[in-house]
Amino acid sequence: MADFQAILLEKSDAGVSAAVTTLDQDRLPAGDVLVRVLYSTLNYKDGLVLKGQGGLVRNYPHVPGIDLVGIVEDGGGSAFAKGDRVVCTGFRVGEVWWGGYATMARLKSAWLVKAPEALSDIQTMAIGTAGFTAMQCVLALEAHGIKPGDGEVLVTGAGGGVGSVAVAVLAKLGYDVTAGSGRAALEGYFKDLGAQRLIGREELTELGKRPLQSERFAGAIDTVGGDILSGLLTAMKYRGAVAACGLAGGAGLKTTVIPFIIRGVTLAGIDSVMAPQSERQTVWSRLASDLPLAKLDAATSIVGLEAAIGLADAILAGSVRGRTVIDVNA
Ligand SMILES: NC(=O)c1ccc[n+]([C@@H]2O[C@H](COP(=O)([O-])OP(=O)(O)OC[C@H]3O[C@@H](n4cnc5c(N)ncnc54)[C@H](OP(=O)(O)O)[C@@H]3O)[C@@H](O)[C@H]2O)c1
């Protein structure tokens, strides 16, 4: 069988190591659809996988990459035909299944959706799991009745992948967006994405010192968790909603029930990995219509497979800005 290129993770007593390697296609896992991968992307979870953290990978050697866009080489009798352009996010691809940091992947057809025609391959991966999750969060706020005009909507971890896309989408939809970030130097970047103002991490953390603060945020998208989520819950407006998707600042949550029972605040949990197909179609179609593509392009960097390995520490340290697309053929 033909060879393909991949980042291969191997585990030894010294830990997990990563290297770009040439592999035979017969090493790909079983699955009905063979995909020629064009691009993947770098998410926080990819950083964890590349560094062997978080207990996400069960078996080594392993090919990481939780997202991919590519062309079907062999549909294997599924609804997909050779030449179809497909996208895969979640379903634990790149964690328990070999993923997109490779020029070929074999996947289950149930995990694939047709790539949106309105988005280029690079834009599709600039969105990736991070952008997909950001849109799920926006949909959750809408489902809880939070409308443009209701007041400030906070996005925490705004400089990261989920945060950047969330700011851009909310601003395009007409929301009054506040970027929550530990990086004051990114103020110009947040304004370009459409944020009206910046609030620092310390200020958000301080809010959590009392069970209730003055009502400020009509809605919030939280990618950080921990003390930041505890803090913002206290400053939600009456009947406000928070879409919580991340733990970049910690998995813990210390709070009281006061925001829930006095202000009727909703805390909505967001998971992208096992999202059902019907929701996936909605999310991609809303991304195609509501994400300003020029802003996405401006927030996107492109690197090759080799360079992706070196970015794992940076994304875990919270120092990557916006979205990083991996050109697996570079
Ligand atoms: N639920 C799901 O299905 C799902 C899907 C995708 C992602 N996620 C989660 O969402 C989070 C964000 O993912 P991402 O891909 O956007 O990651 P990312 O690009 O690394 O962004 C995370 C951002 O969080 C902020 N941050 C990092 N460390 C922090 C700390 N110690 N305290 C406070 N803020 C910190 C930084 O933003 P600032 O510098 O601007 O403060 C950073 O840019 C991750 O926890 C990820 O696992 C969940």
pLDDT tens per residue across span 118-176: 999 999 999 999 999 999 999 999 999 999 999 999 999 999 999 999 999 999 999 99
Shortest-distance atom of ligand 1 to CA 45: 47
Cα separation, 110 vs 324, in Å, equals 26
Q: H or E segment at 190?
A: helix 187-193
Over residues 3-54, the pLDDT tens digits come to: 999 999 999 999 999 999 999 999 999 999 999 999 999 999 999 999 999 9
Mean pLDDT of the chain: 97
- Strand-pairing partners, residue 127, are none
C-alpha distances in Å from residue 4, one per residue of 42, 68, 84, 102, 134: 20, 15, 20, 7, 32
**Architecture of the domain delimited by 3-115+299-327:** Alpha-Beta Complex (3.90)
- Which of 40, 41, 42, 43 has the most ligand 1 atoms within 8 A of CB, as the residue to mutate? 43
- Asked whether 130 lines ligand 1 (CB < 6 A), one says yes
Q: What is the CATH number of domain 129-269?
A: 3.40.50.720
Query: Using CA positions, which residue lies closest to atom 34 of ligand 1?
Result: 249
Structure tokens at 167: 């700011």
- Which of 66, 127, 224 has the most ligand 1 atoms within 8 A of CB, as the residue to mutate? 224
- pLDDT beyond 80 at 1: no
Beta strand 266-269 with 236-244 is parallel
Q: Is the pTM of this model over 0.85?
A: yes
Q: What is the mean pLDDT of residues 176-197?
A: 97
Radius of gyration of the chain (CA): 20
Residue spans per domain, the chain:
3-115+299-327, 129-269
- Which of 197, 223, 232, 296 has the most ligand 1 atoms within 8 A of CB, as the residue to mutate? 223
Count Cα atoms within 13 angstroms, Cβ side, for 225: 11
Cα angle, residue 68 at apex, residues 64 and 72 outer, rounded to 5°:
120
Query: Using CA positions, which residue lies closest to atom 27 of ligand 1?
Result: 318
Quick one: pLDDT at residue 2?
Answer: 86
Peptide bond into 61 cis (omega under 30): yes
C-alpha distances in Å from residue 6, one per residue of 78, 129, 252, 326: 25, 20, 35, 12
